[in-house]
Amino acid sequence: MYPNLMYADALAKCTSDGSTLYAVDTLDKRTLLLQYLLDITFGSGNTFLVGLTKTNGEWRWPNNSTGVFYWNPDDPMPIGNECTRFSNHDKYIISDYCSTNQQFLCEANVSI
């Protein structure tokens, strides 16, 4: 977990570390994320940036997939919200402005 940055800066930090912003694009990755948040005693009201962004009207992950999103059903997705954050309180993704400073989580592919 990194300190608060805007989306572009968070993505650049992850990229410079050889990773990308976390993608909650499968049920397994969501389950892993929830376990990780329990393990680090991340506050239940906290949120952090994830890699889902809106480009040309479509929501996509950094790997260009459209995957499973786990949207908060109460999120109105206002115009101008083109980035996303994950809420540890309700366990869903919420749309947000890309200029919002948030904590963020990177992921990397590791070969064993």
Tens digits of per-residue pLDDT, 31-51?
A: 888 888 776 655 556 788 999
Q: Where are the domains of the chain?
A: 17-97
Tokens at 27, concatenated? 């049920």
- Residue-wise pLDDT tens for the chain (112 aa)? 677 899 999 999 999 999 999 998 888 888 888 888 776 655 556 788 999 999 888 889 888 888 766 888 888 777 788 999 988 878 888 899 999 998 898 998 876 6
Asked if residues 73 and 51 have their Cβ atoms less than 8 Å apart, the reply is: no
Given the candidates 3.30.750.80, 3.40.35.10, 3.10.100.10, 1.10.600.10, the CATH classification of the domain at 17-97 is: 3.10.100.10
Residues paired with residue 53 on neighbouring β-strands, in sequence order: 60
pTM reported for the whole predicted model:
0.83
